[in-house]
Amino acid sequence: MTEPEFVTLQVEDGVGTIRLDRPKMNAIDAQLHHEVRAAAMEAGERADVRAVVIYGGERVFAAGADIKAMAELDGHTMVAWGRELQHSFRTVARLPKPVIAAVTGYALGGGYELALCADFRVLGTNAKIGQPEILLGVIPGAGGTQRLARLVGPAKAKDLVFTGRHVGAEEALELGLADAVVPDADVYATSVAMARKFAAGPPLALAAAKRAIDEGLDGDLDRGLALESELFAGLFGTEDQQTGMRSFLESGPGKATFTGR
């Protein structure tokens, strides 16, 4: 297997960092998103990774898709290209572990679509996010019309997609596009600290909770409730459930140490 050139997975204390490093702006081309996919698959499979941070570095998260590469494609070839891109991003979104996007600088177009695949987004005070595809005569093609609308509702999503405008960190927080805003220098450390809190939790229950919420949003309430009930019952008999309830009865809440079994 070829060593990745632009994306690495670094693991420490239960947190896996998927690090993008394609100079100068982490533009997303086929190689980069395939490497993101491979890193996400590895993070999902590794028992020593209990939470994930996606990070583009101190200066930029990802400024968007590689327009130079995309400009050479026609509608027919774009179908296959877009399918592969969505596959890579879907792999990130379906990671059965908490995922935090640590956003510095620009997260535009495909860059923000990648951030939308995370469960939480931490922005630096000088970050700029947006879906500017409309300014190129196209629309978001890696989840921006769908995940964005599910996150903030159709009207706010349409404003961002129809105008293609850049949104600063404080407005992003107000709109629900970001979950926290911190000084640029603190973005990664804050994201890792959040991830470590989740990493201390019960992995099987966290995976079940994430699946119940995410898949429940894609169906009607009755199907969502049925899925919740199935996942809830499935956790009984696990070592973590027995440990958690025994610890609660003996020591009170928040004292259990979970193994993921």
Query: One of 42, 72, 133, 171 is an active-site residue; which one?
Result: 133
Please give the full DSSP string across 197-251, using - where no structure is assigned.
Answer: HHHTS-HHHHHHHHHHHHHHTTS-HHHHHHHHHHHHHHTTTSHHHHHHHHHHHHH
- 113 noted as active-site residue: yes
Measuring CA to CA, which residue among 65, 5, 81 is closest to residue 39?
Answer: 5
- Burial (CB count <10 Å: 0-12, 13-18, 19+), residue 233: exposed
Catalytic residue from among 35, 113, 170, 174 = 113
Annotated catalytic residue 45: no
- Residue 169 has which token pair? 């960190």
Tracing tokens 């130079």 back to the chain, one arrives at 68
CA angle 44, 17, 50 (to 5 degrees): 45
SS3 content of the chain, % helix, strand, coil (to 5): 50, 15, 35
| Active site (catalytic) residues | 113, 133
